[in-house]
């Protein structure tokens, strides 16, 4: 052990045999009796728990407040419920022109379209970049990497003009079609990295058996890249569900509102008169993300275990 | 060389599986940057034999690149030199949109607001993320639980729902003032007061420190424990261990988090939009650049001006990234 670390600490190495050098680290560790260690760990946990609670307190309070009558929301900073007002949920559900289920359904359609689009188009592009040789690959790959960094606002005006001229405003196409065309380039890159980790021998074996690229892609690569596809699915789900800007500009007909746009309309319509139902629908809108997060957590642990990062 | 490459692969594979809002693309962008460097000078040789198949597989992406990204970029560059309101054909006006910006005090104010948001919010958020990551890194029990709780806000933070919550919390009779009232303080209307409104949105940004925290955690695990053992044997204090080992070895990750968060923060929109009710008020104190761009483009349909603003934003983000890369030479330590 000592010989291993010596190169890293050449200065102190000669000192180590002497009393000062040898005893200092020991002196540092000895007095730590088990109870003191435990006390320190306890203190650390206490700080962590308090700060974690402070972090999620607003969310917990929102849940509690969504079950309170409106006037209490402005007077009760605690979490305990004295009364239980489920009516906020039914009121909020029907507060806008259409029941909230309409907006949930619209969001679901958009999200599903985006997930499907990203999975198909990004995996295809990734296969080409990771496994095929073609002219200009270097340049195209570089262009793909650069688009990852591009701010969305630079293209939004012409995109809006384009889609409005096709007559796609107030349809879901302006949100879904870009995903079908693999514009979420970081997913392409994520999958490229993943495919590069799959042994090429598998492709070769399939090729010797007479498989062409479509079959290698569908029957060899795709089944092996399920973890990357799952990651893409979770992210696309959460980002599209939360996305506000593009849904705000493209969806102006209340019937086509997705959840974020509907919530925004709700805020504008009610100002600060019915926070209870506003909170209730906010909770409803956050629930799918929370569920995706729980599923993603499981996936995270699995991912860490399989990739060897402790 | 070979070994180093492998370890990079593993690291990439690990980061890629973190389901975080920026981690994944964060990690992707991190390695995307290094990929860009690798591209230089590496020829493909004569094996351009899969061109046909490549055209099929790349088809959708190529169409997207041309029709959804590059095309619109060029068009918006053209539009930035025109006067265009969607109804009449664009009319070339030269640099008028840009000279208008020099006289537009609301635009200059929106730039100032955005700069304050980025320059205050991003460093604070990263500092908190690093602090918590270091506390969590020391093999603490219940790590998955803490990690989840700290991470959750960064998933929800970009949503309209949380912005609505923020609007209530910092309102005149909001949660914060209710707590202050308990100890006898009458708090101001944080969101209706121009001097505090922006701070509440910065606080919301800091609240979402979870995603850089996860990237930091992954980075901290890459530091060999051997270094700390050696330092301990030599009698180094915890503080000097942090400054001599942790910070230098983590600096590439800090750097990339910084680049990513700055690029992201410049594009923030939802929070300011919802909290201010779409106005950027009070007194334009939360008028982010993107919010002003939205008002100009999609409120007043001044598409030429909005396009010019978008390009200014691109140039600002590009400049910040370039400065970051330049400055990184002086403080980022690569363990090669």
For residue B116, pLDDT over 50 is answered with yes
Last residue of a domain, one of A22, A55, A88: A88
- Dist CA A210 CA A198 (whole Å): 20
Query: Residue B244 has what DSSP assignment?
Result: I
> For A53, which residue in chain B has the nearest alpha carbon?
B149
Q: Is residue A238 part of a domain?
A: yes
Phi-psi domain of A101 (left: phi exceeds 0; alpha: psi -120 through 50; beta: other): alpha
pLDDT higher than 50, residue A138: yes
> Does one domain contain both A71 and A165?
no
Contact B276, B166 (CB under 8 A): no
Confidence of residue A310 (pLDDT cuts 50, 70, 90): very low
Task: Give which of A73, A134, A272 to mutate to test B binding, by max B Cβ within 10 Å.
Answer: A134
Binned at pLDDT 50, 70 and 90, residue B187 comes out as confident
The answer to whether residue A50 sits within a structural domain is: yes
Identify whether A281 is part of a domain: no
> Among A3-7, A117-121, B121-125, B315-319, which stretch is predicted with the lowest mean pLDDT?
A3-7
Buried b (16+ CB within 10 A) or exposed e, B86-98: eeeebeeeeeebe
CB contact under 8 A, B28 and A189: yes
Whether A58 and A144 map to the same domain: the answer is: no
pLDDT at B200 over 90: yes
Structural domain for A232, as ranges:
100-270
* A74 and A104 assigned to the same domain: no
Give yes or no: residues A148 and A78 share one domain. no
Average pLDDT over residues A265-275: 78
Within a domain: A44: yes
Domain co-membership, A260 together with A120: yes
> Which residue does chain B place closest to A127, by CA atoms?
B57
A80/A117 same-domain check: no
Give the pair of three-digit tokens for residue B145.
Answer: 């639980």
Pick the closest to residue B157 from B264, B253, B263 (CA basis): B264
The residue-averaged pLDDT of A80-85 equals: 80
Rounded CA separation A257/A247 (Å):
8
pLDDT for residue B297: 93
- pLDDT at A27 exceeding the cut of 50: no
- Average pLDDT across chain B, whole number: 84
For residue B174, list chain A residues with Cβ-Cβ distance below 8 A.
74
Q: What mean pLDDT comes out for the span B240-259?
A: 88
**First vs last C-alpha separation in chain B:** 10
- Across B311-329, average pLDDT: 92
Residue A34: what pLDDT? 73
Distance CA(A230)–CA(A250), nearest Å, equals 28
The residues, ordered by sequence, that sit 6+ positions from A7 with a Cβ below 8 Å of its Cβ are none
Instruction: Please give the helix or strand (H or E) that residue B203 lies within, else none.
Output: helix B197-207
Locate B94 and state its tokens. Answer: 């030269």
CA distance A146 to A140: 10
Phi, psi of B83 (to 5 degrees): -105, 120
B222: closest CA of chain A, how far (Å): 9
Q: Do the beta carbons of residue A183 and residue A120 sit within 8 Å? A: no
Q: A7 in a domain, yes or no?
A: no
Specify whether A46 is located in the same domain as A194.
no
Domain match, A166 and A241 both: yes
Could you tell me if B194 and B212 are in contact, meaning their C-beta atoms sit under 8 angstroms apart? no
Tell me A97's DSSP state. S
Of B51, B79, B135, the CB nearest to A157: B79
Domain assignment present for residue A289? The answer is no
Output the pLDDT for position B34.
61
Size of the A and B interface in Cβ pairs below 8 Å: 352
- Cβ separation of B13 and A193 shorter than 8 Å? yes
Domain ranges of chain B: 104-331
Residue B271 DSSP class: H
Give percent above pLDDT 90 in chain A. Answer: 47
pLDDT in tens, A207-263: 999 888 999 999 999 999 998 898 889 889 988 999 999 999 999 999 999 999 999
Confidence band (pLDDT; 50, 70, 90) for A300?
A: low
Return the SS3 of A133: coil
Do A66 and A79 contact (CB within 8 A), yes or no? no
- Which class for B185: exposed (0-12), middle (13-18), buried (19 or more C-beta within 10 A)? exposed
pLDDT of B36 strictly over 80? no
Instruction: Tell if the CB–CB gap between B149 and A149 is shorter than 8 Å.
Output: no
In this structure, what CATH number is given to the domain that contains residue A162?
Answer: 1.10.3720.10
The residue ranking higher by pLDDT, A67 or B260, is A67
Total domains in chain A come to: 2
User: Is residue A144 one of the residues assigned to a domain?
Assistant: yes
Residues in B touching A279 (Cβ below 8 Å): 164-165, 168
* For A140, nearest residue in chain B (alpha carbons): B62
Which of 3.30.450.40, 1.10.3720.10, 3.20.20.70, 3.10.290.10 would CATH assign to domain B104-331?
Answer: 1.10.3720.10
Name the residue in chain B with its Cα closest to that of A183. B64
Question: Both A56 and A170 in a single domain?
Answer: no
> What pairs with residue B92 in β-bridges?
B82
CA proximity to A66, closest of A275, A264, A291, A273: A275
Compute the average pLDDT of residues B130-157. Answer: 86
Residue A283 lies in a domain: no
């Amino acid at each position: 052990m000592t010989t291993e670390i010596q190169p890293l600490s050449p200065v102190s190495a000669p000192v180590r045999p002497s009393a000062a050098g040898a005893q200092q680290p020991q002196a540092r560790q000895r007095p730590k009796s088990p109870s003191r260690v435990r006390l320190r760990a306890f203190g650390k946990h206490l700080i962590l728990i308090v700060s974690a609670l402070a972090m999620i307190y607003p969310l917990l309070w929102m849940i509690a407040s969504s079950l309170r009558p409106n006037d209490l929301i402005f007077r009760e900073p605690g979490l305990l419920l004295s009364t239980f007002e489920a009516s906020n949920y039914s009121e909020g559900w029907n507060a806008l022109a259409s029941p909230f289920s309409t907006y949930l359904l619209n969001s679901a359609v958009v999200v599903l379209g985006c997930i499907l689009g990203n999975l198909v188009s990004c995996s295809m592009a990734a296969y080409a970049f990771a496994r095929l040789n073609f002219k200009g690959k270097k340049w195209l790959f570089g262009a793909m990497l650069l688009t990852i960094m591009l701010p969305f606002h630079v293209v939004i005006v012409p995109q809006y003009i384009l889609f409005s001229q096709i007559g796609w405003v107030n349809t879901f196409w302006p949100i879904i079609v870009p995903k079908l065309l693999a514009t979420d380039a970081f997913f392409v890159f994520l999958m490229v990295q993943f495919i590069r980790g799959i042994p090429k021998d598998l492709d070769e074996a399939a090729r010797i058996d007479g498989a062409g690229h479509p079959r290698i892609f569908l029957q060899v690569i795709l089944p092996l890249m399920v973890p990357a596809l799952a990651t893409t699915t979770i992210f696309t789900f959460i980002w599209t569900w939360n996305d506000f800007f593009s849904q705000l500009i493209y969806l102006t007909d209340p019937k086509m509102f997705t959840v974020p746009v509907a919530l925004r309309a709700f805020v504008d319509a009610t100002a600060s008169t019915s926070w209870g139902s506003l909170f209730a629908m906010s909770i409803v809108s956050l629930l799918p993300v929370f569920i995706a997060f729980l599923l993603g957590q499981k996936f995270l642990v699995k991912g860490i275990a399989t990739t060897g990062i402790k | 060389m070979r070994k180093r490459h492998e370890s990079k692969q593993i690291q990439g594979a690990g980061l890629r599986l973190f389901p975080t809002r920026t981690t994944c693309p964060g990690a992707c962008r991190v390695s995307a940057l290094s990929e860009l460097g690798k591209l230089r000078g590496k020829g493909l040789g004569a094996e351009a034999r899969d061109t046909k198949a490549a055209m099929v597989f790349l088809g959708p992406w190529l169409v997207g690149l041309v029709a959804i990204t590059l095309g619109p970029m060029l068009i918006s560059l053209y539009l930035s030199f025109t006067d265009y309101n969607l109804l009449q054909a664009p009319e070339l006006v030269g640099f008028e949109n840009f000279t208008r910006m020099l006289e537009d005090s609301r635009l200059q104010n929106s730039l100032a607001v955005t700069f304050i948001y980025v320059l205050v919010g991003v460093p604070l958020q990263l500092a908190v993320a690093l602090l918590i990551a270091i506390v969590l890194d020391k093999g603490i029990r219940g790590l998955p639980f803490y990690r989840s709780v700290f991470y959750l806000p960064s998933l929800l933070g970009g949503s309209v729902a949380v912005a609505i919550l923020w609007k209530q919390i910092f309102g005149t009779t909001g949660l914060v003032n209710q707590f202050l009232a308990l100890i006898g303080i009458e708090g101001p209307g944080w969101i209706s007061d121009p001097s505090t409104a922006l701070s509440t949105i910065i606080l919301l940004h800091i609240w979402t420190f979870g995603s850089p925290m996860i990237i930091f955690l992954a980075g901290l695990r890459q530091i060999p424990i051997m270094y700390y053992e050696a330092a301990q044997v030599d009698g180094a204090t915890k503080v000097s261990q942090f400054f001599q080992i942790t910070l230098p070895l983590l600096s590439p990750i800090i750097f990339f988090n910084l680049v990513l968060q700055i690029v992201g923060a410049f594009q923030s929109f939802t929070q300011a939009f919802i909290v201010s009710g779409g106005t950027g008020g009070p007194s334009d104190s939360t008028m982010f650049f993107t919010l002003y761009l939205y008002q100009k483009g999609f409120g007043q349909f001044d598409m030429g001006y909005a396009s010019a603003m978008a390009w200014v934003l691109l140039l600002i983000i590009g400049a910040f990234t370039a400065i970051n890369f330049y400055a990184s030479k002086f403080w980022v330590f690569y363990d090669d």
